Amino acid sequence: MRKKPTEYLTEYLAVKGLKSTTQRDKILNVFIAAGQHLSAEELFLSVKKLHPGIGYATVYRTLKLLAEAGLAQEQRFEDGFTRYEHAKTDAHHDHLICTRCGTIIEFENERIEQLQQDVAKKNRFKVQTHKLELYGLCAECQGKKN
């Protein structure tokens, strides 16, 4: 992604016959500045600090839009709500998720990806996407009592 995300978005919107709005650009900028794995609620709170006028629904809608545009990627973990991460052009990655503190660690493993393809082929299955999540305790939480 060489050009600015907002430019990319504007382009996408134009192609789709949709409209570029200040809200969408603002939300996108906050989204990019914020950390990974944000929920819509979390993003909304961050957006509200800088741009109090922007509504809840608009954040939700924009997040879905960003996902369609390829600028964000939806991730549904087990904590009940949808999170979004910035789409990267580099390789797909998976997640280690701490069930105690919620920390999310990303990893990628070429070998696993390959074995997945083998499994798919064996079942005459054509993979579109996949999801690999390891739930457990991160290094810090392993020591904690309770």
Binding site for its own copies (CB under 8 A): 76, 78, 96, 98-99, 105, 107, 109, 111-112, 115-116, 119-120, 122-139, 142
CB of 115 to DNA, least distance (A): 30
Please identify which residue in the block is written with the tokens 């999310």.
104
Backbone angles phi, psi at 3, to 5 degrees: -85, 165
What are 68's two structure tokens? 């369609």
Give, as ranges, the residues between 68 and 127 that touch DNA (CB under 7 A).
80-82
User: Reduced to 3 states, what is the DSSP secondary structure of residue 99?
Assistant: coil
Residue 39 found at the interface with DNA (CB under 7 A): yes
Residue 83 pairs in a beta bridge with: 39, 75
Q: Find all residues with CB under 8 Å of 3, minimum gap 6, and list them.
A: none
Residue 35 binding result from its own copies, DNA, none, given CB thresholds of 5 to 8 Å by partner type: none
Closer by beta carbon to DNA, 13 or else 96: 13
Does residue 22 touch DNA according to CB under 7 A? yes
Give the angle subtended at the CA of 43 by the CAs of 66 and 1, to the nearest 5°: 35
Q: How far apart are CA 77 and CA 109, in angstroms?
A: 20
Contact flag: residue 41 with DNA (CB under 7 A): yes
Tell the smallest beta-carbon distance from residue 113 to DNA (Å).
27
Please choose, out of 35-43, 100-108, 117-125, 132-140, the segment that lies near DNA by the rule CB under 7 A: 35-43
From the CB of 60, what's the least distance to its own copies, in Å? Answer: 16
Q: Which residues contact 42 (CB under 8 A, 6 or more apart)?
A: 34
Q: How far is the CB of 113 from its own copies (least distance, A)?
A: 10
